Structure 1
Amino acid sequence: MSERPVRIGMVAGEISGDILGVGLIKELRRRYPNAIFEGIGGPLMIEEGFKTHVPMERLSVMGLVEVLGRLFELIGIRRKIRQYFLENRPDVFIGIDAPDFTLGLEESLRKSGIKTAHYVSPSVWAWRQKRVFKIARAVDLMLTLFPFEARFYKDHKVPVAFVGHPLADMIPLESPQVLAREKLGLLSTPIGPSQNVVALLPGSRSGEIHYLGEIFIETAKFMLSQNPDVKFLLPYVNEDRKQQIEEIMQRLGPELPITLIKGQSRDVMAASNVILLASGTATLEAMLLKRPMVVAYRMSAITFFIMKRLMKAPYIALPNLLANKALVPELIQAQASPQNLGKSLLQRLAKNSENEALNNEFIQIHQTLKQDASDKAAIAVSRLIDHDAN
């Protein structure tokens, strides 16, 4: 434990980054009780004493084309944060995910002599692999969540530490379905303890719901036409997203048995028999909860055209990437139709023996990622700080 005052700059760009950030702040504060944490962060980080200079949601933009509409605002925010940290120099600056925003900031700060770390590797191993050279210029240390990422950076001589994933530490190896339903207050509803339930997670951002919301509602309609006993749970992150979802439901299926639940997406997934979700961190969470899933993703035609030509990895879903094989279905763009998604979900509701084998695969991956990640990340960052001080 160090009593010296330490200033730690951080930028997190979305909800998953906020979760990682708050875990790291807690562990670093154990080592540096007088530390100042500031930059851009979300509500969890703020509750832990983090000072955010810009609301985190201003950085939450998806897709190449969608970023263009906010480009000047994002450039302005980065310039403002860069200038602040040049005038109020931190002992270390940590970019948490959001690589298109944070890596350029890290490179600039590092050139001025500020130590930099990046928490969560961009998908450089999957597409735009030449970015690794920019990363080498931008960071003193890369903190990776997954072991295959660490191997990639070692091969390219970039300082790296595999720390595991905090979600693997937080989520137990077993997540009983009935307990989750009880926590959500569903045992006294038509859902009860044994009803077949499908969790629908079209994403937490407006753009994701724009592309997937209607398809997910239409998928529910298709499934009900094949199995009238299925019920659905759909979590939402805030009132704006709830309103967006309700407008779609009112238009396409006001009679559908879909229960909207504020927050608690992890409990919603744990309460389900199978999950339909957008590609992203939620697929990792679903895997750690040991639930069968179908992964869908849609984006603008231009973004998809560009991504398809740059993509090097064979999969987009994290369970598949971690296993290096197709554990869960991935349906992208036109493939992500209500009929395709619905048929795949119904198959997974019925295949108990295959789901048991899938569960065993998920347990093995969970154990690999369970590394006490926040503590490991804090140890690696503190070495940067203390090395500079010595």
Structure 2
Amino acid sequence: MTEQAQQRPLKVALVAGEASGDILGAGLMQALRDHHPDIEFIGVGGPLMQAQGLISYFPMERLAIMGLVEVLGRLPELLARRKRLIGTLKAQQPDVFIGIDAPDFNLTIELQLRKAGIKTVHYVSPSVWAWRQKRVFKIREGCDLMLTLLPFEAQFYQKHQVPVLFVGHPLADSIAMQTDLQSAREQLSLPADAQVVALLPGSRGGEVAKLGALFVDTARYLLAEKPHLRFIIPAANQARHAQLAAILADMPHLPITILDGQSQTALQACDAVLIASGTATLEAMLFKKPMVVAYKLAPASYWLLKKMVKSPYVSLPNLLAAEMLVPEFIQDAATPEALAEAVLEQLRDGSQQTQRFAELHESLRCDASERAAQGVLKLLGRL
């Protein structure tokens, strides 16, 4: 790189597709600005990225779509927006394009821009190590650098000759190694001396429909063994709150409190967790809470995924530990009796899990935003 190019301000394009990407993008932008105060940001992002100075070409919400049917309904708009965005970015000639998660949208942009001579980075690996592994070839063709949050993801990319940097997980940076259980209980008006189980059946309507009643039935079995247990269920939004309230309406005597959000406070306040497989299992691990994982899908979806998924585990703690550290109950194995027995075992002694969780937390605590920024700047020769 010439001395003149080294001196001019950096122009960085970023595209995030949902709230979690907005959080990651804002952290990365702040870290990049710490190195280059006169940096310029363009692309697509939410309020946090815009607060860091991003000029967003259209609202991030236009990309935040869940579900196959919903995507199909919006596909013409998504394809048109992506085509216009590629044209705009080619004209703007940023020093680098960073696609944050949203692989179905961003990987094609990366491929097109890299062909046009623009450096490309993808931040947050899609689950290529678990299913649709052939996507790694498109990633290798379109991506100058993959930034992964988890170490086993980096190992997969190294095996497939994709330039990769493991940066750690921002949640591991933001959640303290030791947290205050009693202050969390005070916030939630829970007794200091009670045993508390958190029930986290998921944040989506479909997940709660399949797991909500199952988790409540499990609570009934647990109460038969431990009558003084208390239960808390964080509801992701008003729709989930109403859905959970409807499930509990027939059992008003159960000591179950629905919370509005506050999932991290719930995890901090509890003694054990019954939880749906997903990102929340990582949060439970970082709060060092013994957990039992359950998941159910529509029979046809389960049949298809069972044939496609290559991973031996479904929960992130087990993938990180590379062993069955956390009990997993999938599909027909997820019965109230089996879940209750597994939770009781963790309430009796969950130390095997929690000691390993502390080690895993340390391994992910890497100052992810700064490490990601350094990876991007090294790629550009501007570190």
Smaller-chain TM-score bracket: 0.7 to 0.9
Would the alpha carbon gap of residues 19 and 333 (structure 1) be closer, same or farther in structure 2, given more than 3 Å must change? Answer: farther
Residue matched to 1:338: 336
Would the alpha carbon gap of residues 41 and 220 (structure 1) be closer, same or farther in structure 2, given more than 3 Å must change? Answer: farther
Alpha-carbon distance in structure 1 between the residues aligned to 2:22 and 2:324: 29
- The SS at the match of 1:379 is helix
- Offset from partner CA, 1:145-168 (integer Å, 9 cap, x none): 222222221222111111111222
CA radius of gyration, larger in = 2
Structure 1: tracts of 5 or more residues without a match = none
Displacement of 1:57: 7.3
My pick for the range that moved more, 162-171 or 221-230, is 221-230
2:314 alignment partner, one of 294, 316, 339 = 316
Residue matched to 1:130: 134
Alpha carbons 1:14, 1:57 under 8 Å: kept: no
Alpha-carbon distance in structure 1 between the residues aligned to 2:206 and 2:156: 31
Displacement of 1:211: 3.4
Residue matched to 1:378: 373
Alignment of 1:250-269 (within 5 A): 250=249, 252-269=250-267
Displacement of 1:255: 4.1
Give the CA RMSD over aligned residues: 2.6
Residue matched to 2:358: 363
Displacement of 1:185: 4.1
Alpha-carbon distance in structure 2 between the residues aligned to 1:310 and 1:127: 6
2:98 alignment partner, one of 94, 98, 121 = 94
Runs of 4+ in 1 over 6 A off after TM superposition: none
Would the alpha carbon gap of residues 132 and 249 (structure 1) be closer, same or farther in structure 2, given more than 3 Å must change? Answer: same
Give me the identity figure in percent: 49
Alpha-carbon distance in structure 2 between the residues aligned to 1:151 and 1:165: 16
- Offset from partner CA, 1:197-234 (integer Å, 9 cap, x none): 11122223334334333333333334334433222222
Alpha-carbon distance in structure 2 between the residues aligned to 1:58 and 1:245: 28
Structure 2: tracts of 5 or more residues without a match = 1-5
- Offset from partner CA, 1:123-148 (integer Å, 9 cap, x none): 22222222211110121100112222
- Offset from partner CA, 1:154-183 (integer Å, 9 cap, x none): 22211111111122222222223213223x
Alpha-carbon distance in structure 2 between the residues aligned to 1:179 and 1:49: 36
- The SS at the match of 1:17 is helix
Alpha carbons 1:92, 1:384 under 8 Å: kept: no
Alignment of 1:38-117 (within 5 A): 38-52=42-56, 53-56=58-61, 58-62=63-67, 67-68=71-72, 70-117=74-121
Alpha-carbon distance in structure 2 between the residues aligned to 1:292 and 1:173: 15
Would the alpha carbon gap of residues 172 and 116 (structure 1) be closer, same or farther in structure 2, given more than 3 Å must change? Answer: same
Aligned residues between the structures: 377
Would the alpha carbon gap of residues 109 and 212 (structure 1) be closer, same or farther in structure 2, given more than 3 Å must change? Answer: farther
Alpha carbons 2:17, 2:60 under 8 Å: kept: no
Residue matched to 1:272: 270
Displacement of 1:66: 6.5
Residue matched to 2:161: 157
Would the alpha carbon gap of residues 244 and 28 (structure 1) be closer, same or farther in structure 2, given more than 3 Å must change? Answer: farther
1:326 alignment partner, one of 324, 327, 334 = 324
